[in-house]
Chain A
């Protein structure tokens, strides 16, 4: 096993321990928790004491879907920036790559920003009606 993969063993251990702690807490509460009586009112959705009216899955603004889509777009762009950020200084040290490193990424940022401006102008981020 390479040492790079070996580095992930503690992460797996931590994950396993977190799962054990979480499941343990849930189970412990089932065992220790006192039992109460059940009633019809106890099973009704909580709306500050009012009896709920209408379906529980209220309609939500389409804006939320838009935000989710834009998030996926922009977050992927951000991930593209990381490898560039890591090797940027190395590239600058090489005379042949110096300008390429800057221009390629700044133009990428420029295109990204153009798309961003389009979304802004279309009102994708306006939450006031």
Chain B
């Protein structure tokens, strides 16, 4: 049986809208980051373009497009062009399985309701590391090379901890589908995974910081040592794409944290813990999801300006020697507790 026209049409519509909204959120996350950073450092921040500098993302985009698209002579050309694309595409595809609302009318508010949900996200997120390694290799110069290598080692190290940390969550729900996970958490405030699996939450959040190369884990960029890391040789829109991808990954990580641990679109009061019956409730659910996501994003930004950078050996220590055994213990503990509870 061929998929219905209705399904195809609405899927295409949702894909376009979600991508555009994502890119807008990404652009304004950059703006918010600059404003928050300015506030913390007792500065004003961008305030020239439009009221409160609200048109700054637009101005940045125009600038990135109008700059000379320069390819230095010493780079490996094909890879040099490929790398930003490989970083950018997975960062946009990650959000496919995240339920950003319950239902609107009769349309489920998720792009693809895959039964492998979280595995898909991990798979796509892992693809991003290829782009970073490739960027480091393509630039054929020392700083990008070091940045690329550091970044790949860091990202894959924390991927192990990240993958292990969510296993207890799925022990509880017995389903990898993220929509089912949100429904599982919608029972009440203490049904949220953050209260049921606080250790998993902690490991996942820290690993998410490392995966997105955010401070305190921003060794790959380390301005003071590598002058920017893997994107040193890039300019114009290619540089902007690395930048966009980094923030898109941050948005996706926040969305994952909200979905996995903070109850997704549900709120435990006002009857908002059930799939929406009306259009209005559906819109509220999307609002709740975005609100939670922005709160997590704000924590990402806030921590960046509060914490110093780790040393590389400390970073690897934390990932492999602390988080991996902790996450393993958490898996075993959760399994044993469930076994004891079973009739």
Query: Which A residues contact B (CB, under 8 angstroms)?
Result: 1, 4, 6-11, 13-15, 17-19, 21-23, 25-26, 28-30, 32-36, 42-48, 52, 56-58, 60, 63-64, 67-68, 70-71, 74-75, 78-79, 81-82, 85-90, 92-93, 98, 101-102, 105-106, 109, 112-113, 116, 120, 125-128
Contact = CB atoms under 8 A, between A and B. Distances in A.
Interface centre among A13, A52, A79 (most CB of B within 10 A): A13
A37 B260 CA distance: 51
Contact of B232 (A42, A46, A64): A46
Contacts of B36: none
Contacts of B6: none
Contacts, number: 227
A89 B227 contact: no
B174 A14 contact: no
B335 A42 contact: no
Nearest to B111: A10
Interface residues of B, number: 86
B84 interface: yes
14 contacts: A7-B115, A11-B111, A13-B11, A14-B112, A17-B92, A21-B23, A36-B70, A46-B141, A47-B142, A56-B74, A64-B149, A67-B157, A75-B163, A98-B339
A109 B73 CA distance: 51
Contacts of A13: 11-12, 15
Given A33-B65, A92-B342, A86 B176 contact: yes
A45 B233 contact: yes
Interface stretch (B52-60, B287-295, B324-332): B324-332
Contact of B15 (A17, A35, A106): A17
A36 B68 contact: yes
A53 B232 CA distance: 17
Given A42-B72, A113-B328, A10 B335 contact: no
A102 B335 contact: yes
Given A26-B84, A30-B69, A21 B111 contact: no
B38 interface: no
Contact of B153 (A25, A64, A79, A109): A64
A22 B69 CA distance: 15
B238 A44 contact: no
Interface in B4-28: 7-8, 11-12, 14-16, 18-19, 23
B114 A43 contact: no
Given A22-B85, A22-B241, A71-B157, A33 B66 contact: yes
Contacts of A56: 74, 140-142, 145
A58 B145 contact: yes
A121 to B, nearest CB: 12
Interface in B290-343: 312-313, 316-317, 320-321, 324-325, 328, 331-332, 335-336, 338-339, 342-343
B50 interface: no
Given A71-B159, A81-B164, A45 B140 contact: yes
A74 B163 CA distance: 10
Nearest to B342: A92
Nearest to A23: B85
B197 interface: no
A43 B73 CA distance: 5
B108 to A, nearest CB: 11
Contacts of B172: 89
Nearest to A5: B3
A78 B160 contact: yes
Contacts of B88: 18, 21-22, 25
A87 B156 contact: no
